[in-house]
Structure 1
Amino acid sequence: MDPETLKYNAQQEPRHKEVCDMLAQEIDRCLPEAENKIWHAHPVRFLEGNPSVGFSKKKPGIGLMFWSGADLEEPGLMIWHAIG
């Protein structure tokens, strides 16, 4: 896992850290070619220089975000959902 993502995750309260760690591991597993950066203060993976997927702490929990979700050819990725 990227050191900056580890640092971001470590700053979360325990129940949110667990979710962040799981998301980071799954995103890394599914998009090993993606560049990992902290962007606008949260972890984001970039494909070919474009933001693709990331997560962040939101008031109701951890938000998983997709940019250009329609390009991924998966139904329902335009919906924001908080976990935790």
Structure 2
Amino acid sequence: MIPEILEYNEKQALVDKDICDALAGEIDRSLSGAESKIWHGHPVWFLDGNPIAGYSKQKPGIRLMFWSGADFEEPELNVLGKKFKDASIFYSDAADINKTALRRWLKKSKEIQWDYKNIVQRKGNLERLK
């Protein structure tokens, strides 16, 4: 895990830090070779410059987001974006993370991708990559 993400996690309250550490560990393992960085203030993992997965602290808890998650057909990812193809889930405790489901979602995140990297050039239109 890169130092900037470790630093982000360390700044969280203890319960949120545990969630962030668990998510970062699973994402790092499942998306080996992905670039990770702090993007728009929170940890995000990219494949070929395309944002895939990330998490952030929000009022309801730690939000785990998949940029192309709306097409995963996973009912647990029930916070769907209105404008784009993202889907999310919130966690308030690390014990709530279903690692089997998380690994399945991360596998799908490599297989199902929309091209966010070129969204500006396409004037807000998304195209499916995989």
Task: Say if 2:41 is the partner of 1:30.
Answer: no
Q: In the TM superposition, what whole-angstrom CA distance separates every residue of 1:35-70 from its partner, at most 9, and x where no partner exists? A: 001000000000110100000001011000001222
Unpaired stretches in structure 2, ≥5 consecutive residues: 81-86, 93-130
1:81 counterpart = 2:89 = yes
TM-score by length of 2: 0.59
Give the number of equivalent residue pairs: 81
Q: Which structure would you say has the larger Rg?
A: 2
CA–CA distance in 2 between the matches of 1:50 and 1:2?
A: 18
> What is the TM-score normalised by the length of structure 1?
0.90
Structure that is richer in strand per residue: 1
Q: CA RMSD in A?
A: 1.1
Percent of aligned pairs sharing the same letter: 56
Question: Can you give the 5+ residue segments of structure 1 that lack an aligned partner in the other structure?
Answer: none
Q: How does 1:2-81 map to 2 (within 5 A)?
A: 2-69=2-69, 70=71, 74-76=72-74, 77=77, 78=80, 79-81=87-89
Structure 2 CA distance for aligned equivalents of residues 81 and 18 of structure 1: 16
Aligned residue for 1:12, secondary structure, equals coil
Distance 2:66 2:52 in 1: 6
